[in-house]
Chains A and B, each alone.
Chain A
């Protein structure tokens, strides 16, 4: 880089460190707030709405938003949209955290192990990883769900079986680079057990990258879960899962646009929340780096 740019960057980093604790964390704070709000709303659903997501109200089907008693309107069976979104959110958030969490832990563990150990074990594992990468992820998930039978649980299984490879690849790369660094060699020379070396010395290095990627992955999993719900391959009616709601509302799109539109907005909000957290983490971790 040219010295002018280098100079500028040098000063901006120092300025950020001096003045910018809050500014630096701004994106992260916003992201966490958005997501936190959604989580709290969905968890506290019974407090926020009197209705059950399955309660039918045959007297008032397809009521538009801001109708009396139904702030977001009702669907074709008279079920309250607001409560369906809140309860459905539990499912989608469960997908986001459940699918991402497991694959993150499993993939990281496998990747670290593979990179650290090296040798033929590493080669074999990486071959398998490369192989999975040849498949379009979505198609594979659908195929697995097809074989196991469409249900929410099988959807989780399908994601767990396929999603770990990204984490494995990232962490393995870092493990390979880090294991030859001095402090790791020093730890080994001191006779620390391998597991301790891996956990205490190699892992912390990698954690930041993995977390940032996990946020992107979470968005993907929410979209994936919703897509499968939409296609009837995951959550099924009368489940209030957001994707399923959008699918249900398709038939009424001309007369009652809110059936399909509002759940979609909910998905976008959750997705934006995760993305902001990911960006925020990147900002925070980069400034320190």
Chain B
């Protein structure tokens, strides 16, 4: 585990660079702009958090990067660079190349472990399938490797449990199985789409610790998707906040959590229960995210924003660098950090 990775481009600290990613979905009502001009970089060994409400585009972003979006109704444009494949745009590589990348370079785990495992296939077979995908191994080798993986993710009595079916496992165990399958071929990048949302709180902790451990031991970079700010805060080095298909703020974790600059991020943080300053009520953000069909120009958060002004509805937004490594999609980012700019809110 201490070997330097073969790096075609030795200067690259960034393993994944996403620029101008758009994903459109054609539906009966019109074209949905599920992911709209998303750009970010993922550095080696870091955990990047993607946080936002349901429908904000975080899952679709990950699936687009993995090539999982169903191709007739959905299509994407943009520039995606992966360090191990210099000079190629991942969005335009062919199916065969994508298949080589999946599992061995890019991998993903999903939210609901019950539905993410094939109910009629033994758990051991599902792991072995992942093992065999990118390595030519004999049956005994495969089995041994699979056992090792199950062991590594903390499943007791692995050799007996391998013969079991998914419905015979608990939720936390299933998620561990999924993780084992996901890291079987030593990927460099792992997308974790709400890996703990379907689990109860105690198990959540265990799974998150496991992910941290594995990430460290295998030297993986991780994109962690969640709508739970607590989970994101615990795990991530950098955080991207998404709203209505766009990234609205991108910064390192500490900065984002302590000194956010986008009104949405600020409102989001304020709606968290705060044990230190007990308020009489829990402020929540009024309204709902916009429909992504025939979307109006201008800032998408404006209808719900406490700092909104008439111009917000007409001016196109863009990500503005406000500090080193801190991007905000709001022209009022300076006002946002001043409590007096916020109408009738006590800002503690």
A and B touch in the complex (CB under 8 A): yes
Residue on A with the closest CB to B111? A3
The reply to whether B27 and A8 contact each other, CB–CB distance below 8 Å, is yes
Which chain B residues border A16 with CB–CB below 8 Å?
28
Interface membership of B32, Cβ < 8 A: yes
**Contact partner, A12, options B27, B34, B110, Cβ 8 Å:** B27
**B50-68 residues at the A interface, CB under 8 angstroms:** 55, 59-60, 63, 68
**Cβ of A11 to closest chain B Cβ, rounded Å:** 4
CB-CB nearest in chain A for B293: A11
- Cα A19 to Cα B293 in complex, Å, equals 14
Does A4 contact B60, Cβ atoms closer than 8 Å? Answer: yes
Closest residue on chain B to residue A5 by CB atoms: B70
* Contact count band on B: 20 to 34
- Chain B residues within CB distance 8 Å of chain A: 25, 27-30, 32, 34, 55, 59-60, 63, 68-70, 73-74, 110, 291-293
A3 and B73 form a contact (CB under 8 A): no
Chain B residues with Cβ below 8 Å from A2 are: 59, 63, 68, 110
By a CB distance below 8 angstroms, the chain B residues around A3 are 59-60, 63
Q: Given B28, B69, B292, which contacts A4 in the complex, CB threshold below 8 Å?
A: B69
Chain A residue nearest to B112 in the complex (CB): A1
- Decide: B70 and A19 in contact? CB cutoff 8 A: no
Q: A4-B68, A7-B55, A15-B29 given; name 20 further pairs at CB < 8 Å.
A: A2-B63, A3-B60, A3-B63, A4-B69, A4-B70, A4-B74, A8-B25, A8-B27, A11-B27, A11-B32, A11-B291, A11-B292, A11-B293, A12-B27, A12-B29, A14-B29, A14-B291, A15-B28, A15-B30, A19-B29
Query: Which label, helix, strand, loop or mixed, suits the secondary structure of the A interface?
Result: helix
**A18 within 8 A of partner (CB):** yes
What residues on A are CB-neighbors of B70 within 8 Å?
4-5
Rank and list the top 6 A-B pairs by shortest CB-CB distance, nearest first.
Answer: A15-B29, A15-B28, A3-B59, A11-B27, A12-B28, A12-B27
- Give min CB distance, A29 to chain B, whole Å: 19
A14 CA / B70 CA spacing, docked (Å): 20
User: Could you tell me the distance between the alpha carbons of A38 and B60 in the complex, rounded to whole angstroms?
Assistant: 50
Considering the chains assembled together, what is the distance between the CA atoms of A38 and B74 in angstroms? 44
Q: How far is the CA of A39 from the CA of B32 in the complex (A)?
A: 45
Residues of A within 8 A of B (CB-CB), count: 14
A5 to B69 Cα, complex, angstroms: 9
Check A19 against B63 for contact (C-beta < 8 Å). Answer: no
Give the interface of A toward B (CB within 8 A). Answer: 2-5, 7-8, 11-12, 14-16, 18-20
Could you name 9 residue pairs across A and B whose Cβ atoms are closer than 8 Å?
A7-B34, A7-B55, A7-B60, A8-B25, A11-B28, A11-B32, A12-B27, A14-B291, A19-B29
- Answer whether A7 and B32 are a contact pair too, CB < 8 Å, given A2-B63, A2-B68: yes
| Contact present for B63 and A18 (CB under 8 Å) | no
CA distance A7 to B74 in the complex (A): 11
- Nearest CB in chain A to that of B194: its residue: A3
Which residues of B have CB within 8 Å of A11?
Answer: 25, 27-30, 32, 291-293
Given the complex, which residues of A lie within 8 Å of B74, measured CB to CB? 4
Contacts of A8 in B (CB 8 A): 25, 27, 32, 73
A8 CA / B34 CA spacing, docked (Å): 10
Nearest-neighbour CB distance to chain A for B292, whole angstroms, equals 8
* CA gap between A102 and B67 in the complex, in Å: 55
For residue A1, which residue of chain B has the nearest CB?
B115
Q: How far is the CA of A136 from the CA of B301 in the complex (A)?
A: 63
A residues within 8 A CB of B30? 11, 15
**Residues of A close to B34: CB separation below 8 A:** 4, 7
CA distance A20 to B27 in the complex (A): 13
Question: Given A5-B70, A7-B34, A7-B60, are A19 and B28 also a contact pair (CB < 8 Å)?
Answer: yes
Rounded to whole Å, the gap between the CB of A9 and the closest CB of chain B is 9
A21 to chain B, nearest CB (A): 13
Q: When chains A and B are docked, how far (Å) is the Cα of A5 from the Cα of B74? A: 10
Bound state CA distance, A36 and B291, in angstroms? 41
Chain A residues near B68: list those with CB within 8 A. Answer: 2, 4
What chain B residues lie within 8 Å of A12 (beta carbons)?
A: 27-29
Given A3-B60, A7-B34, A7-B60; A15-B27 close (CB under 8 Å) = yes
Question: In whole angstroms, how far apart are the Cα atoms of A18 and B292 in the complex?
Answer: 15
Q: A4-B74, A7-B55, A11-B293 are in contact. Are A18 and B29 (CB under 8 A)?
A: yes
CB distance from B175 to the nearest CB of A (A): 17
Q: How far is the CA of A18 from the CA of B27 in the complex (A)?
A: 13
Closest to B193 in A: A3
A14 nearest CB across to chain B (Å): 6
Measured CB to CB, the closest approach of chain B to A217, in angstroms, equals 32
Instruction: For B69, list chain A residues within 8 Å (CB).
Output: 4
